[in-house]
Structures are given as structure tokens and as C-alpha cells.
Structure 1
Amino acid sequence: MFWRKALITAVIHCLASCPRAFAGGEGPPTIGPGDGETPPAEDEILDVAPPQAANNTVISGWVYLGRFKADGTWQRPRSEDLIGTSPDELEGRPIVLSMDVNVRARVFVLKQQNSDGGCDIGESEVIGALESGREVVLTQITRFPLCDSYIWAEVRESD
């Protein structure tokens, strides 16, 4: 039942923060302040795995870990193991995922930064998913360009 709540949360957030995509408007998805609909503190990449992806388990690729805020806290971390730890300290560490996540071929790409501080992004291909409770090793950590509070990790299966 966890996946249903995660999926519903993702859809609600997307409908609230990306109205152009659902109203036949123009433009790619955005991250950041956007058009004022959602304050920056609430913006988030909700890259949780949909139920059908959970059957296609992949053990290596790129995973969105969450947003690391200026005050040193994580917003919606994908693992409880991240709490209290800076992204700079994570490389090489194992973590246990606390939610199902998409595994992607690469990190999202920045198309442009908007005048309002938001970022137009290009999503990358979903190549599978990892289930909640799965242990992975964070082999590389990267921050999203210009929106560097969004933290991504290249992961592999724990030994």
C-alpha cells in the first residue's frame, strides 16, 4: 500500500506545481520557484517508482536522493541513513532505501535557468526501480547544476 500513497503524492504534487503540463501549456517541466504557484521550500523532484517499475529491478544507475537544504537538513530523503549527513560525506557509503525509487540512466539535465530562479529540466530514461528496504552503495554523488540542493547518486548493489 506504500506505493499507492507515494504515487498519489507524486501526482498531486505534479498537478499543483506543473500546471502548464496538464493544461496543454507550453514548456518543459520545471524545478524551483516556477511561476509562483509553489514556494521554493516546497519544490521537490518526486522521482518515486510507480508500481509497474518495481518489477523491473535494476541494481545500478542514478537515483535522486532528495533535497539538501542550506540549514543542513534533508527534504524528503530517500533513506533515513541520509539524515544528519552532508552530501559531501556520502560517497562510498551504503544506505537502505526508505521508499521505492526510480533508477535512471543518468541525472536530469539542465536546459536553462529561468529569470525567476526556476530550472527547465530534461528528464532521463528510467531503466528500472529499487524497492524500499534495498541496500545500495552510493558510488558517486552529484548536485544538480544551478539547483545544487537537488542531490543525485550513482548507486550499485551492496556487496
Structure 2
Amino acid sequence: MFRTSDGGPIQMYEDPYDPIVSYSSPMAGWLYARHPKIPDYWTAVAEEPTRDRAEETETGQGRRSKKTNRKARVSDDSVRTALYRIRNADGELLYVGISAKPPQRWGQHAADKDWWPEVAGLSIEWFDSKTEALAMEARAIRTERPRHNIQHNGTDVPPKV
């Protein structure tokens, strides 16, 4: 078991988008519960509700009234997003993409891309926002020229293999 510098156990928190991944601090906007069998491990159980926050104020007659202050809904841009690269056995870059849930996205590729059987390696890089990941994806495609990307690759038709 891993320990902190003061000897205490490290608390690990499940990534709500990819349960295979965990972190040493919880992700903002999620509620966690202690795992029933794994000590010092917390699982993401639900997104924090986006509900009206009420403030009670005293009225002149001793009654309480509620003022509501709507909590802003988190936009897609604040979702941690992964940039992934898919390579063949020779190390050739086949595809670059982004996803908040990479394993699920890879499953989609496996189901509908004829090049998927060539896949021998996957790498992943996380960004704090979808906007940042989109920009890095476009840059990676333009500079690294993956074989199966069409958008940002300087062509409107799929490359010939």
C-alpha cells in the first residue's frame, strides 16, 4: 500500500469517466463513496446535483422566505478530455482523437473502423478542457499526419492505403 510522506495511506479516487483510472484527489463536481472492499479507495457515485440553492431570509413578520440563486451548469468545456494516439506494430501513427471516455471511444472504433485490426499501441494525454484537447488534436493531426484522420490532415478524402 502506498503512503503519504507523513506515513498515512494515500486515498485514491476513481475517475468517473473511466473506472480503470484513479487519482489521489477527487474530481470536482462528483460525489464519492468509500469502496466496500478496497481500503482507502473511493468510487464516483454521482455528479453533484445542479439544483437551486436557496437562501432563507428573515421577513418583517418572522416568516422565512427563500431567495434562489441558480447554480450554473457545467459546460462541456470543463470536462477533462483525453487526446489519444493509436499506432500500429511498426509505430506508425494511425489515428489521433479526443474523448472524455477513451475506452468507450476505442470500442466504437473497433466496431466500425476497418483499420482497427492494425492497432498495436495506444497512448493518452489528459487536458483540463475540451477546448484545449480540440486545439491539441488539430495541431497533432496537422503536424504528425496520422494515416486515417481526414479532418485537419490537409485532405477531404480518406487516404489511400
Scaled to the shorter chain, the TM-score interval is under 0.3
Which is strand-richer, 1 or 2?
Answer: 2
Point out the structure with max Rg over C-alpha. 2
Return the TM-score normalized by structure 2.
0.23
Q: Relative CO higher for 1 or 2, CA cutoff 8 Å, sep ≥ 6? A: 1
